[in-house]
Structure 1
Amino acid sequence: MKRRQKKKHVEKLLETAGKEMAEDASKLAQVNEDGSINRLAEVIGMRQNVYGQQELIIRMDASIPEYLFERFVDAKGDLFGEFRLFDNRVITAQQRKYINALCRDIQRYTGDDTIDQVRYDRKIEFISKYSLPYFSTSEYNKDCSVGLASKFIGYIVDFCLDNDIGLSETPLHYLDDVKPYLIKCLWERKCIICGQEGEVHHVDAIGAGRNRRKIDHTKHHLMCLCYKHHSESHKIGQQTFMQKHHVIGVIMNEEQFKKMAYRG
């Protein structure tokens, strides 16, 4: 009787193990056509080695066949991979508020019925341009990250600049990368603070007696300011002005500078 029970117990264990192995095999990482592998992983720990280098401990969502590890090592026996972190932060209240403020600026200019309609139209254009899945700017849906919201804000700001729509508030506090905005303002001659008509302003003093048409402007920090803010920068001083408005100058490469069509 005991032997029969023991045999059934062993058979059950083998059956369970077989199912687990089959499930694990079905989760094996898929190999791309170029031989690379994309797998989702969770960072479960961090530490520093004796050389002060950061090491991550990750948990894979599926196994990678051992033979692939052997196949991908180089002549020195080293194995390398690419690691990319996802932005798991959800859109902030400040970002939602600014998106609505931008849409309000557009609504006032275009005369569209509602801010919601403006936001929806810009979102559909944005999704179509970058081939993105539909997302909501509500924090409850949790499908819009801080990074995505920043990119969406940048898109709406570009729309405003392209269509000569003044901004009620500068977007500098809401963009992850402000350089494209600063350059676009120089191209369009729009003040980086208020979005009104502006002129090129040299953050680095050129100096009296120097010919502006002969100096290399790609070696100077530039920004676009309207008459009001340009006058303020001279009145209170450049550094104080930049600290007050949280703005910086930008250095452009030769191609970017040519597009600005600036003669000094």
Structure 2
Amino acid sequence: MTVSASLSGTTETLVKSVSLFNLGTLINDQSSLTMRRGMGTRVEVPVTGAFIEMTDGEHILFDTGLLPHNCERDDGADPCLSMKRFSEMIARYERQDDIRARLADLGHTPEHVKIVINSHFHWDHSGGNLLFPHARFLVQGSEYRFAYQPDSFAARPYERAYFDCDIDYELLRGDQVVKPGVAVLTTPGHTPGHQSLMVRLPSGPLMFMTGDAVFCPANLEPDSPPGNAHTTEQAIASIARLRLLCEFFGGELVICHDPDFWKKWQPAPHRYI
């Protein structure tokens, strides 16, 4: 479990603020959050994203949420048709939960987003990709390859129409500093190429956006790993890595699907500085 010097050796940051987006809610079985625990218990979990406002104007978006309302593609395809197969999992997705509306809450438009970082390509994290054709997209190469040819038992959460939308993805190979104060961390397990995000606020503290590497705080305990990981052993190792980084450098884990997420965090237009 190593930490690159390029990730840990500087406190410089170009981050101006971080805002957390409330992008709807899903219904899951508790056992998908905590392996073999709570089977048959339905739990509502948030869909979240993060907008990182940068002092140089190259604003960053972490995950794009569910498929936008009234979506259209230049090639004439209708990705909305594929949304129907996920409809039974959606508890709430109103127009104010559309990522465009959440950006507007901050006084921004999709055109203001210059970099998009997908934690992975599951349908609830890449649905809005088609709104940002002008942006740089950063994804792990292992995730990109797996998404196009996933193992059969792991194929359902991948909706190709969402991520295969005329975007020239930049394929990463491991940890990488994106800009001063923002770095991707490889956290495989939930999917083979999952990545999380480390952000240093201008006031100094770090925020660790877990994506789906951690589903709920219970996963931080060794006996309660996530229940829907592609590779459980990797998932456990990634959770341990995030926990170590958070404890060593100080900061907060932003556990993106935590059912109690909005009891701890304030949604946009609040800005964490």
Question: Where is the helix percentage greater, Structure 1 or Structure 2?
Answer: 1
The structure with more radius of gyration: 1
User: TM (normalized to structure 2)?
Assistant: 0.23
